[in-house]
């Protein structure tokens, strides 16, 4: 469905809202995009007020970790822990739920959840184990990269939990097999955060990106530029959207901020951060409209068979890092 066309059938759209012919995607044109976003928000608000029975159409699952997870909407459909339904308790009862000699003690069989200070908590506390999305969190730290050349030395990529380490000495290093080996599957979203910029003066804001996993590979969303190109006005230095050894000074430029709306995505394979950078990959549930219209729901903990089974079956033999 082309929303612009449908809207235009109802009312002529002023040119200023429609964008220009040069726009590849009119939805990206800010005024019209904003209007349609506002429309989506208002529809959900009305459904919440007048047709609650349809609210489940907009549910998006989120993961809750041991330190609690922030609620965006405050609306919780239901909560599960390890396929066990959680009963909600008042936050004042939380200490009893943690006390093993209390009758209100939360157990694996009878888990509970509560809300406090804008966050949701689950008891017993979820644990991060392997083979879950959450266990795919990793840290990426990089050693020195020499200036102006393709002499990269990427080292010390340490994943949490299983101490997965890889080293890469070429500029064309593709992180796909490393991430795929952690059981991520097509359609998953990863949030990349640059946690340390060090002396890097080129890695401009935003320092966080979203990548999406496409079929059999993991690619970074965005563009890669070389230093010269930036100086000359950000000319794309990609060859066929692939990071190649001939491209010097690779790094992802401003692309998608965390929370951006992800639609049709151009993929860029591989990513080479600059010196003294660290990034963390954090799994987020699929969300095509950011957090704004999400309604928090499912809870998946580390023992969730649903997640583990799906990922393993999807990438049972993908550790070779097959690319498209």
At its nearest, how many Å lie between other proteins and the CB of residue 235? 27
* Cβ neighbours around 114 below 10 Å, total: 22
Contact stretch for other proteins (CB under 8 A) within 65-73, 127-135, 174-182, 262-270: 262-270
Paired with 225 in beta bridges are 251
User: Judged by CB, which is closer to other proteins: 58, or 203?
Assistant: 58
User: Judged by CB, which is closer to other proteins: 60, or 302?
Assistant: 60
* Cβ neighbours around 148 below 10 Å, total: 11
Distance CA 322, CA 292 (A): 34
At its nearest, how many Å lie between other proteins and the CB of residue 33? 5
For other proteins, what does the binding mask look like between residues 23 and 62, x meaning CB under 8 A? --x-xx----x-xxxxxx-xx--xx-xxx--x--xx----
Contact stretch for other proteins (CB under 8 A) within 13-21, 70-78, 152-160, 314-322: 13-21
Binding flag, residue 144, other proteins (CB under 8 A): no
Instruction: Tell me how many residues contact other proteins (CB under 8 A).
Output: 36
- In the list 99, 164, 288, 291, the residue contacting other proteins (rule: CB under 8 A) is 288
**Strands, E, within 77-227: which ranges?**
80-81, 84-85, 87-88, 112-116, 119-123, 138-141, 154-159, 165-168, 189-196, 208-214, 217-221, 224-225
User: What is the DSSP secondary structure assignment for residue 44, as one 8-state letter?
Assistant: H
Binding flag, residue 262, other proteins (CB under 8 A): yes
At its nearest, how many Å lie between other proteins and the CB of residue 208? 20
User: Judged by CB, which is closer to other proteins: 39, or 231?
Assistant: 39
- In the list 79, 158, 201, 289, the residue contacting other proteins (rule: CB under 8 A) is 289
On the question of a cis peptide bond just before residue 117, with omega within 30 degrees of 0, the verdict is no
Distance CA 186, CA 307 (A): 13
Largest Cα span, the chain: 69
At its nearest, how many Å lie between other proteins and the CB of residue 11? 5
On the question of a cis peptide bond just before residue 124, with omega within 30 degrees of 0, the verdict is yes
Binding flag, residue 12, other proteins (CB under 8 A): yes
Binding flag, residue 284, other proteins (CB under 8 A): no
Q: Is 216 left (phi over 0), alpha (psi -120 to 50) or beta?
A: left
Asked if residues 103 and 89 have their Cβ atoms less than 8 Å apart, the reply is: no
At its nearest, how many Å lie between other proteins and the CB of residue 291? 14
Binding flag, residue 109, other proteins (CB under 8 A): no
* Cβ neighbours around 1 below 10 Å, total: 5
- Footprint on this chain of other proteins (rule: CB under 8 A): 1, 3, 6-7, 10-14, 17, 25, 27-28, 33, 35-40, 42-43, 46-47, 49-51, 54, 57-58, 261-264, 288-289
């Amino acid at each position: 469905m082309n929303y612009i066309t449908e809207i235009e059938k109802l009312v002529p759209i002023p040119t200023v809202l429609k964008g220009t012919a040069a726009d590849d995607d009119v939805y990206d044109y800010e005024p019209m995009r904003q209007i349609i976003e506002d429309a989506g928000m208002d529809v959900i608000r009305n459904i919440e007020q007048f047709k609650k029975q349809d609210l489940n159409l907009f549910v998006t699952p989120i993961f809750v970790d041991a330190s609690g997870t922030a609620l965006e909407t405050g609306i919780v459909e239901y909560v599960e822990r390890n396929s066990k339904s959680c009963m909600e308790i008042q936050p004042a009862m939380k200490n009893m739920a943690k006390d093993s000699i209390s009758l209100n003690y939360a157990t694996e069989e009878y888990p509970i959840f509560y809300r406090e200070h804008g966050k949701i908590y689950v008891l017993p506390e979820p644990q991060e184990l392997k083979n879950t999305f959450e266990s795919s969190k990793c840290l990426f730290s990089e050693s020195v990269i020499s200036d102006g050349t393709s002499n990269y030395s990427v080292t010390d990529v340490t994943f949490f939990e299983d101490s997965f380490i890889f080293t890469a000495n070429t500029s064309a290093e593709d992180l796909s097999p490393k991430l795929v080996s952690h059981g991520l599957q097509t359609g998953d979203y990863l949030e990349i955060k640059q946690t340390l910029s060090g002396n890097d003066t080129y890695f401009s804001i935003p320092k966080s990106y979203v990548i999406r996993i496409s079929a059999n590979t993991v690619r970074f969303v965005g563009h890669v530029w070389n230093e010269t190109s930036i100086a000359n006005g950000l000319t794309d230095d990609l060859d066929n959207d692939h990071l190649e050894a001939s491209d010097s000074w690779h790094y992802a430029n401003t692309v998608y901020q965390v929370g951006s709306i992800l639609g049709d995505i151009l993929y860029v394979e591989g990513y080479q951060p600059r010196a003294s950078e660290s990034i963390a990959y954090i799994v987020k549930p699929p969300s095509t409209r950011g957090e704004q219209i999400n309604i928090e729901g499912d809870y998946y903990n580390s023992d969730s068979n649903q997640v583990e089974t799906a990922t393993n079956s999807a990438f049972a033999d993908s550790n070779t890092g097959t690319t498209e």
